[in-house]
Amino acid sequence: MSKGLEDWCCVLFLNPKKFIMQLLKYGIGIDMAKDKFDVCVSTIDTVQQVKTTATRSFDNTLKGFETFLTWIGKKCTREIPRVFLMEATGIYYEQLAWYLYQKDQQLSVILPNKAKRYKQSLGLKSKNDAIDAQGLSRMTCEQHLRRWHPLSKNIYQLRLLTRQSERLSSFITQFNNQLKAVRLGMYRDKSIEKMMERNILSFKKQKEQLEARIESLITEDELLKERCEQICAIKGVGLLTFAVIVAETNGFALIENQAQLVSYAGYDVVENQSGNHAGRTRISKKGNSHIRRALHMPALNMVTYEQAPFANLYERIYDRSKIKMKGYTAIQKKLLVIMYTLWKKQETYDPKYVNSLAKALENTSPEQLKNKQPNTKAGLHKMNAQQQVEERPLSF
């Protein structure tokens, strides 16, 4: 060790007050609620020490947002980055997130389960708004999180319409089941039956109106209209399915690869194996349930109308597992990936694409595969690898 470094270490060890740590950034954790939100400000220095510097609660109103940003300006005086972090708590966070975005603040929004796991890793046994804000503040100090970007106006409206349509479908199913139960009772009341029938008709009418608005919104937007025509060329995928997928993924704006999309939708495979123990392998279902619900019926249609390559995938999985739902789930995953690919490449679905690729390979000599057409061979290897991933055993 050099003498200069030895002297510096001695100074740091004997008189640590002379050594001033350099702060790297402010981490501002925000725990949202309906009427208020709690804030915790922390800092992290060059030796990765996190220190809480201020806490406070504010009203979840426009005036509260203005007071909050003014307070932050007083507490965060150093010329270092300020990073805000909050959970996606229902819709309560949206107004503050939009306000901070308009003020050009660096904001990140994470899923609640991710924040929960992080706070558990810290050993925090208690839970309240102040502790949650402190955990988020520490998290944003220690980690580099992706910056949040809001949905476009049309995508946001599309999400509102599709989710309301989904709720109405649930209401119709519930009332139909209740009506059947009332009619099978020992004593029947015609007035109750008519009341429930009127509710069902009302829900169906509202759903038709919503679907008309969804179609109008997509038609008026040139980009959505073009993408809809390209993706809906897949037999079994309708306008409503397209609308749900686009609305829930924000037009695939933040999706960087297929694996990320599969995980976001909850189709990623979770294995349970250690040593000699071999547990059940299943999909995580820790993702956007609206996407999985929207793809359920199209997957059934693919098998019913024997659409290649989806029906072929279903047959292979069913022959091996004898469980239909595993095949349907694999089709849902494959269909989602194909829709993502068509959107990114701005191409129209061609059902003969896979067959043409295989046929091109059959008509190609080994020398051409080696020298002139490496892309075709690589494409087939990629297709085979993707099929192997899709055919991994799943359980529910």
pLDDT tens string 184-226: 988 888 999 999 999 999 999 999 999 999 999 999 999 999 9
Measured CA to CA, the distance from residue 146 to residue 7 in angstroms comes to 41
Q: Could you tell me whether strands 277-278 and 106-110 are parallel, antiparallel, or unpaired per DSSP bridges?
A: unpaired
Which pLDDT does position 395 carry in this prediction? 39
Contact 286, 215 (CB under 8 A): no
Partners of 85 in the β-ladder: 29, 108
Which pLDDT does position 282 carry in this prediction? 86
Residue among 147, 340, 158, 323 at smallest CA distance from 237: 340
pLDDT tens string 106-132: 999 988 878 888 988 888 778 888 999
Q: Is the pLDDT of residue 12 over 70?
A: no
Task: Please state the pTM of the whole predicted model.
Answer: 0.72
Ordered DSSP codes for 145-206 = -PPP-PPPHHHHHHHHHHHHHHHHHHHHHHHHHHHHHHHTSSS--HHHHHHHHHHHHHHHHH
Measured CA to CA, the distance from residue 299 to residue 365 in angstroms comes to 37
pLDDT tens string 129-172: 899 999 999 999 999 998 998 888 889 999 999 999 999 999 99
Higher pLDDT, 113 or 62: 62
Which pLDDT does position 377 carry in this prediction? 41
Which pLDDT does position 362 carry in this prediction? 52
Distances in Å between the alpha carbon of 384 and those of 171, 258, 274, 380, 393? 42, 16, 28, 6, 16
Vertex 320 angle, CA 319 and 325, to 5°: 80
Measured CA to CA, the distance from residue 102 to residue 302 in angstroms comes to 44
Confidence class for position 376, pLDDT limits 50, 70, 90: very low
Rounded mean pLDDT of 67-73?
A: 94
